Amino acid sequence: MLPIILVSQTRAETKKYLSEFLRKHPVHPARIFSVEKEKQSITIDQIREIGTLFQRADDEMKLVVIYDFDTARTEAQNAFLKTLEEKNQSAQFILVAENSAYILPTIRSRAQTVKLSVKKDREFKQMKALGLLDNQLSLEQSLLATARLAKDKAPRLINELIAYLHLLITENHYHKNIPLVFDQAIETKKLIEKNNVNPEFALDILLSHCFSAGILPADLDLG
């Protein structure tokens, strides 16, 4: 069965979806496994532990629910890809996320995405707080806004920018420079996470590219 990426904003709606899923696809309670993030994220060790569930031959259906999968770092998500390749056909994964754009494209391409609700004001919370969704925003104003941004929040802001690029495409506000800026955003995030660049400097360059490409200021109503 294809993994399911469940885009959900609340535990209540997630619980409702899971109840309905189990009604349609009964699984023995002893074969249902839930994984919660440790501190800030799903870790690579947690993903590897999941892999041990499939080390022995077993045809009985298993359900593995990984909450906050969009917090998993690249190495953990790559480990999950390996788990997908090794699992048997009797396993079903449900990856719960607030924003599927934070999940690697290689995982999204192998999964079915189910969106329970899309609340743009929450999906772009940090961009909104910094004023980056103002359609009258200037480059100078954006640089001043991000100058106050804490280092640990820089990757999250870039994730929101990536989600914004996806939204431009899905709502037919396509810019020819989106693929280039998308690649730059991914690379900038990697450099910041590896402490190979000053976060403020890296964000300044990325935002400058967004403005020169016509992607910012925002031309969508994101509530």
> Tokens at residue 88, please?
């048997």
CA distances for 18 relative to 24, 82, 137, angstroms: 10, 25, 41
- Looking at the structure, do residues 81 and 143 belong to the same domain, yes or no? no
Angle between helices 74-86 and 44-51 (to 10 degrees): 10
Is residue 158 in some structural domain?
yes
**Residue-range definition of the domain harbouring residue 60:** 4-118
Query: Backbone phi, then psi, for 99, in 5-degree steps?
Result: -145, 115
57, 87, 118: which is the final residue of a domain? 118
- Looking at the structure, do residues 113 and 132 belong to the same domain, yes or no? no
- Looking at the structure, do residues 93 and 136 belong to the same domain, yes or no? no
Total domains present in the chain = 2
Is residue 220 in some structural domain?
no
What's the pLDDT at 174? 62
What's the pLDDT at 100? 87
- Looking at the structure, do residues 10 and 114 belong to the same domain, yes or no? yes
Which residues neighbour 153 within 8 Å (Cβ) at sequence distance 6 or greater? 126
Per-residue pLDDT of the chain (223 residues; tens, 9 = 90+): 899 999 988 888 899 999 999 999 999 998 999 999 988 899 999 999 998 887 666 778 899 999 999 999 999 999 999 998 876 677 899 999 988 888 999 999 999 999 886 555 556 888 888 888 888 889 999 999 888 788 788 888 998 888 888 777 666 566 778 888 888 988 898 888 888 788 889 999 999 999 998 888 876 665 5
What's the pLDDT at 223? 52
Looking up residue 55, the CATH number of its domain turns out to be: 3.40.50.300
> Quick count: other Cβ atoms within 10 Å of Cβ 93?
23
Is residue 219 in some structural domain?
no
- Looking at the structure, do residues 107 and 10 belong to the same domain, yes or no? yes
96, 118, 140: which is the final residue of a domain? 118
> Quick count: other Cβ atoms within 10 Å of Cβ 99?
19
Query: Residue 110 class from Cβ within 10 Å (0-12 exposed, 13-18 middle, 19+ buried)?
Result: middle
- Looking at the structure, do residues 126 and 198 belong to the same domain, yes or no? yes
- Looking at the structure, do residues 139 and 40 belong to the same domain, yes or no? no
- Looking at the structure, do residues 38 and 109 belong to the same domain, yes or no? yes
- Looking at the structure, do residues 60 and 132 belong to the same domain, yes or no? no
118, 136, 161: which is the final residue of a domain? 118
Is residue 177 in some structural domain?
yes
Is residue 59 in some structural domain?
yes
- Looking at the structure, do residues 89 and 143 belong to the same domain, yes or no? no
Is residue 218 in some structural domain?
no
Is residue 223 in some structural domain?
no
What's the pLDDT at 171? 62
- Looking at the structure, do residues 125 and 180 belong to the same domain, yes or no? yes
What's the pLDDT at 112? 95
Which residues neighbour 180 within 8 Å (Cβ) at sequence distance 6 or greater? 209, 213
Amino acid found at 77: Q
What's the pLDDT at 160? 87
